[in-house]
Amino acid sequence: AMTRLNEELCRGHRETPRFTTAVYGIIDTRTRQVTIAGAGHPPPLRIRGHLLARVETDGPLLGVFPEEKYTDTTFTLAEDEALLLYSDGFETAFSPLETGDKKRKSMDAYLDEMSALPWPSATNDGTAADALLFLERRLDEQSGSLHQLDDVTALAICPRRQTASESKPGLTLRAA
């Protein structure tokens, strides 16, 4: 799908080149198997409690390189794990305005913010929606929050907690 979309974007905008980032995925809600590909987009995060792991999706921007092939990666989302898809605006939303060598380190400050959120876990009965509401409040506290340099969008995907009467696994989507 990403390869075809890239071809269309490359073919359709020859006079006025346009490009975009994207992440595309398929989730089997019964097995929690995730297949995901990216195109210049920040890597999705697998979150377990306060531990983060990047899902590396190494595809280039869409609409720039004709005949580029995009690959995907597959993994199974654990019952106590969240998958967070987010826009690149988070990289600057939590970064202090610094220059030089410190600037590169500050670009990852958003990861500290993401890991500090109250994600659902064995020790936390909260929901992904709760974590995203907390993230929204943290964004509002940032300098320039009313005039962000870039968009800030997040989507959290978590296995649904089952009650004793449920027998089928499932996933719940939460966006902010």
Terminal C-alpha separation, the chain: 26
* pLDDT at position 161 over 80: no
> Whole-model pTM?
0.81
Express each pLDDT in 39-82 by its tens digit. 999 999 999 988 999 999 989 999 999 889 999 999 999 988 99
* pLDDT level of residue 27 (50, 70, 90 thresholds): very high
Mind spelling out the 3-state secondary structure of 81-102?
CEEEEECCHHHHHCCCCCCCHH
Q: What is the DSSP letter of 31?
A: T
Give CA 96 to chain center in angstroms.
Answer: 21
Express each pLDDT in 106-142 by its tens digit. 567 889 989 999 998 878 888 899 999 999 888 888 7
* pLDDT level of residue 171 (50, 70, 90 thresholds): low
Closest CA to 38 of 20, 12, 17: 20
Please calculate the CA angle 107-47-127 and round it to the nearest 5 degrees. 115
